[in-house]
Amino acid sequence: MAENKLLEAFNRSSYPVAGHGKRTVGVLQEALATVDAEVDSDVYGSGKLIEDFQAKMADVLGKETAVFFPSGTMAQQIALRIWSDRKGLQKVAYHPLSHLEIHEEDGLKKLHGLESVLLGEKDRVPTLADIQKLGDDVACVLLELPQREIGGQLPEFAELEAISAYCRERGIVLHLDGARLFEILPFYQKTAAEVCALFDSVYVSFYKGIGAIAGAILAGDESFTKESKVWKRRHGGDLISLYPYILSADYYYEQRVPKMAQYMEEARELAALYNECPAVETRPEVPVSNMMHVHIALPKEQVEPIFVSVCEETGVGLTASLREVDADYCYFEVSIGDRYATVPKEALRKAFALLSESLGTVAR
Ligand SMILES: Cc1ncc(COP(=O)(O)O)c(C=O)c1O
């Protein structure tokens, strides 16, 4: 079946379960509606608007200073470049499915001449033992919390503390890919600053669980962020004005950070429904943030028409796409946002009854 049949059904569904809503210009309009039109724009990285937001985020993350970037891709490559230069070492270590390794067209290697060392194994989070196996020639370890490409899994907090202590002792810099940092705070029962205290530098995103337009913050000590501003200029990241991103980041940060515990509980409720279906298991089994991967031990061609029918018959859009792992296996990602609470429970119950029955027929 054509991929877009599922996408089309999802787009027509009355109750899509994932995300906050459609990515329309209305997202920006809503954020700007409350802003005074006379407020001065930021200009090439300066001005009250950008400086206030950077100071606010430095405070939230418990770091000396913070810099707003148009993208996390730019921010993190720069962070790793700075730490490598300071250490005089060209190697950085991260998970084999890190964003830097699989989604950035080798920017770190081609633009910065850095080499990556892949930590641990693809299907689990890195451990202290993985880090202890690294040689002395690694400048920096990047940890991603939660690990997105394996459904948003997390190490125990005690393991993180042990990793942080080990890296400090060994003089290895520890950087946090916190694209979804706010999403995991309810699980760890920690503040953002408490998690970030384990790391030398931190990146957070504003368009994942927070749902703004785009944008990132990179935080660390004064000399690190000062240097990152020079690299931002070199990368063309100092857009004359970044205020549409900053204002929307701030607006949706305030709206959605207080709801992260709700999203995690809703993700857990949804995961339990999936885990009762034949041939289905979620990773993690019990979500530790607003996200999970739903794995189905059946061929994509058999599963796709089932999700289309569930969508058409119950109005519940469970997923817009399926990714094939091999001929007998597929999966999809779910991130819970504002939409989930608007799905009537009865419609959800019917959707899962139909999903379970239909999967049971083909799984036999
Ligand atoms: C874990 C992780 N790190 C980094 C990035 C890069 O962020 P950006 O899209 O702002 O470049 C992403 C984006 O999806 C991500 O998921």
Mean pLDDT over 332-346 rounds to 98
- pLDDT of 88 > 60? The answer is yes
Residue 51 in domain: yes
Q: What is the pLDDT of residues 229-258, one digit of tens each?
A: 999 999 999 999 999 999 999 999 999 999
Distance (angstroms) between ligand 1 centre and the Cα of 70 equals 11
Q: What is the pLDDT of residue 363?
A: 84
Same domain, 91 and 207: yes
In a domain, 75, yes or no: yes
Q: Which of 208, 240, 272 is the last residue of a domain?
A: 240
> What is the structure's pLDDT at 314?
98
Whether 35 is covered by a domain: the verdict is no
User: Is 245 part of any domain?
Assistant: no
Residue of 67, 95, 205 with the most ligand 1 atoms within 8 Å of its CB, for mutation: 205
Same domain, 56 and 184: yes
- Kindly state whether residues 170 and 291 are assigned to the same domain: no
Whether residue 228 is found in the same domain as residue 314: no
Both 157 and 15 in a single domain? no
Q: How confident is the model over 306-320, as a mean pLDDT?
A: 98
pTM: 0.97
- What distance in angstroms lies between residue 108's CA and the mean position of ligand 1's atoms? 14
Predicted confidence (pLDDT) per residue in 37-81, tens digit? 999 999 999 999 999 999 999 999 999 999 999 999 999 999 999
Q: Whose CA is nearest to atom 8 of ligand 1?
A: 72
Residue to probe by mutation, ligand 1, list 67, 73, 208, most atoms within 8 Å of CB:
73
Distance CA 319, CA 9 (A): 9
In this predicted structure, the answer to whether residue 126 has a pLDDT above a threshold of 80 is yes
What ligand 1 atom has the least distance to the C-alpha of 215?
Answer: 10
Q: Which domain holds residue 15?
A: 3-22+259-363
64 with 161, same domain: the answer is yes
pLDDT in tens, 254-285: 999 999 999 999 999 999 999 999 999 999 99
216 and 347 housed in the same domain: no
pLDDT score of 309 more than 80: yes
Residue of 21, 68, 1 lying closest to 211 (CA atoms): 21
Distance CA 77, CA 73 (A): 6
Give pLDDT tens digits for 104-115.
999 999 999 999
**pLDDT band per the 50, 70, 90 thresholds, residue 364:** confident
Quote the pLDDT of residue 99: 98
CATH of the domain at 87: 3.40.640.10
3 state DSSP class of 13? coil
Pair (233, 273) in one structural domain: no
| Ligand 1 centroid – CA 248 distance (Å) | 17
Q: Quick one: which of 241, 231, 177 has its CA closest to 205?
A: 177
Q: Enumerate the β-bridge partners of residue 143.
A: 176
Q: How far is the CA of 278 from the centre of ligand 1 (A)?
A: 33
Distances in whole angstroms, Cα of residue 164 to Cα of each of 132, 157, 300, 347, 362: 12, 11, 41, 46, 47
For 253, the token pair is: 């940060």
Ligand 1 site residues, Cβ closer than 6 angstroms = 71-73, 99, 144, 148, 177, 179, 205, 216
Please state the atom number of ligand 1 nearest to the C-alpha of residue 148: 1
Specify the pLDDT at position 3.
53
Q: Of 190, 207, 240, which one is at a domain's C-terminal end?
A: 240
Q: pLDDT band at 2, cuts 50/70/90?
A: low
Ligand 1 centroid vs 256 CA: distance in angstroms? 19
- The CATH number covering residue 282 comes to 3.90.1150.10
| Residues 6+ away with beta carbon under 8 Å from 291 | 146, 148, 151, 152, 180, 183, 267, 333, 334, 335, 336
Q: Which residues of 262-294 are buried (b: 16+ CB within 10 A; e: fewer)?
A: bbbebbbebbebbeebbbbbbbbeebbbbbbbb
Summary mean pLDDT of the chain: 97
Query: Is residue 11 domain-shared with residue 128, that is, in the same domain?
Result: no
Mark whether 203 and 286 lie in a shared domain.
no
Taking the C-alpha atoms of residue 171 and residue 165, their distance in angstroms, rounded to an integer, is 10
Whether residue 107 is contained in a domain is answered as yes
- Among 184, 208, 240, the domain-final residue is 240
Whether residues 12 and 96 share a domain: the answer is no
Number of structural domains in the chain: 2
Q: What digits encode the pLDDT tens for the residues 189-209? A: 999 999 999 999 999 999 999
37 lies in some domain? no
Q: Is residue 190 part of a domain?
A: yes
Rounded Cα distance, 116 and 134, in Å: 12
Whether pLDDT at 116 is above 70: yes
Give a yes or no: residue 251 inside a domain.
Answer: no
Q: In the structure, how many helices (H) and strands (E) does the chain have? A: 15, 13
| Residue count (the chain) | 364
Instruction: Verify that 236 and 264 share a domain, yes or no.
Output: no
